[in-house]
A and B are shown apart, each in its own frame.
Chain A
Amino acid sequence: MKIPKQIIDELISHAIAEAPLEACGYLAGKDGTITKAYKMTNTDQSNIHFSFAPEEQFRVVKAARKEGTDLIAVYHSHPETPARPSKEDIRLAHDPCVSYVIVSLAEGNNVIKSFKINGETVAVEPIEII
């Protein structure tokens, strides 16, 4: 997946702004290249969990479609833990078609990694910063 540096910076800024709560959102783009981040409301307002609101999801799905883009990835932050899917992330990764991007702020390091999750199978997906 290719992500412009500017969007990488947006994701980190979003994660920092929401900390200690988890930040979350969608990444939209075309042909594997991200062109826009959609910040979403974490309805759980939690530092260890996030959920999207379906009403907001439907709005964003339609907005992305209108712009001719696909929702390629879902991102969320781990304010205090590493950038790897937790058991809960894997359990709730129902859509095998999207990528799951995690922004970790753990121990003062800003780390972003992407994963494909299909059932219990987790594969790291390379991110190319452009």
Chain B
Amino acid sequence: MKLKINGKTEDATEGIRLTDLIVQRGVESPEMVSIELNGEILEKDGIDAVILKENDELEFLYFMGGGAK
């Protein structure tokens, strides 16, 4: 099936779980990644239940922060 990930159309296994997609993509520090699915930001504790479907649109981005000390 087709998914749009970070603006690009990509092939993915039919019915893949979001957590499996994250592993497949080799995302480093996944706990520090914010995910938007079809325009909605997912809560961290809701990610496990997500099963992706054809034409879903995903955005991944890293939490950004830092400190001077």
Interface residues of A (CB under 8 A from B): 22, 24, 44, 46-52, 54-55, 57-58, 61-62, 65, 74, 76, 78-81, 85-89, 92-96, 100
Contacts and interface: CB of A to CB of B under 8 A. Distances in A.
Contacts of B69: 48, 81, 86-88
Given A49-B65, A85-B66, A95-B64, 11 more contacts: A46-B67, A54-B63, A74-B64, A81-B68, A86-B67, A86-B69, A92-B63, A92-B65, A94-B28, A94-B29, A96-B28
B68 A78 contact: yes
A57 B62 CA distance: 9
Nearest to A65: B7
B32 interface: yes
18 contacts: A48-B68, A48-B69, A49-B66, A50-B67, A52-B63, A54-B34, A54-B63, A58-B36, A61-B59, A62-B7, A81-B69, A86-B69, A88-B67, A88-B68, A89-B66, A94-B32, A94-B62, A100-B66
Nearest to B29: A94
Interface residues of B, number: 19
B61 interface: yes
Interface of B: 6-7, 28-29, 32-34, 36, 41, 59, 61-69
